[in-house]
Amino acid sequence: NAGVTQTPKFQVLKTGQSMTLQCAQDMNHNSMYWYRQDPGMGLRLIYYSASEGTTDKGEVPNGYNVSRLNKREFSLRLESAAPSQTSVYFCASSAGTGHRFWVPGTEAFFGQGTRLTVV
Amino acid sequence: GEDVEQSLFLSVREGDSSVINCTYTDSSSTYLYWYKQEPGAGLQLLTYIFSNMDMKQDQRLTVLLNKKDKHLSLRIADTQTGDSAIYFCAEGNAGKSTFGDGTTLTVKP
């Protein structure tokens, strides 16, 4: 099915371990985003990429790195996981180049989420 | 900073109306909108309203905006079990969108 695919769906890490969350979209979208969802904090933007080869920091980038490998894929890397990074992570993509998520045609398409626990 | 707040849970009976409330803080928000997340799926755009509007109706959905109080609500008429989902309130302007925590709507038969 067309859409945004994230892997893995669940992951448990030990403090200090590293891992990469993968995200791919098959809608030929320009922009891709990584969010984290924590109770009481809403969805917070970690990084986004307006086009292949460009990335920009969002609201909470510390402790993360990203890579826009090609137009389809946008990965999020935790180099040294910390318990504060326990969260649900969502990848999203949009046909637009910004954050105009209210506009049909440039709305954000979200993946199913990755539930990450750091112990 | 900007903030969007919603109640976390709402439970209604099938056939009743559901009202999900949201407050926001950013007075420069141009658009207010709602996303829906069904079980096991990603978020999807449900509806939106421009900040100079008071109300928008789309079939069973009614969005009400009180700009003075920075209060947004989503009313679902004749709620069905298929409406059970998490509803995210969000605000946006030219350069940024901010999402709330989401309200889990449970519809009981």
Contact A101, A108 (CB under 8 A): yes
Q: Which residues contact A62 (CB under 8 A, 6 or more apart)?
A: none
Nearest CA in chain B to A48: B96
A residues 3..22 contacting B (CB < 8 A): 3-4
DSSP category for residue B1 = -
pLDDT at A118 over 90: yes
Locate the chain B residue with the closest alpha carbon to A33: B97
Residue of A nearest to B103 (CA): A42
Q: Please provide the DSSP assignment of A69-106 as one string.
A: -SSSBEEEEESS--GGG-EEEEEEEESSSS--TTSTTT
Considering CB atoms only, which of B31, B40, B43 is closest to A102? B31
pLDDT surpasses 90 at B15 = yes
pLDDT in tens, A72-107: 999 999 999 999 999 999 999 999 887 778 777 788
Contact B24, B89 (CB under 8 A): yes
Say whether A41 and B101 touch across the interface (CB within 8 A): yes
Residue A52, exposed/middle/buried by CB under 10 A (0-12, 13-18, 19+)? middle
**Angle made by CA atoms A45, A46, A52, in degrees to the nearest 5:** 100
Higher pLDDT residue, B27 or A31?
A31
* DSSP letters spanning A5-58: EEE-SEEEE-TT--EEEEEEESS--SEEEEEEEETTTEEEEEEEESSTT--EE-
For residue range A39-76, list pLDDT tens digits in order: 778 889 999 999 988 999 998 999 999 999 899 999 99
CA distance B86 to chain A (A): 12
Q: Does A58 touch chain B (CB under 8 A)?
A: no
CB atoms A42 and B101 under 8 Å: yes
> How do beta strands B55-58 and B4-6 pair?
unpaired
A67 touches chain B (CB under 8 A): no
Contact B90, B46 (CB under 8 A): no
Look at residue A41 in the predicted model and tell me its pLDDT.
Answer: 81
CB of A94 closer than 8 Å to CB of A104 = no
**pLDDT for the residue B51:** 86
Tens digit of each residue's pLDDT (9 = 90 or more) over B41-61? 888 889 999 888 899 999 999
DSSP B68: T
DSSP-derived secondary structure for B29-43: --EEEEEEE-TTS-E
**Residue A57, pLDDT score:** 94
Rounded Cα–Cα distance for residues A113 and A111 (Å): 6
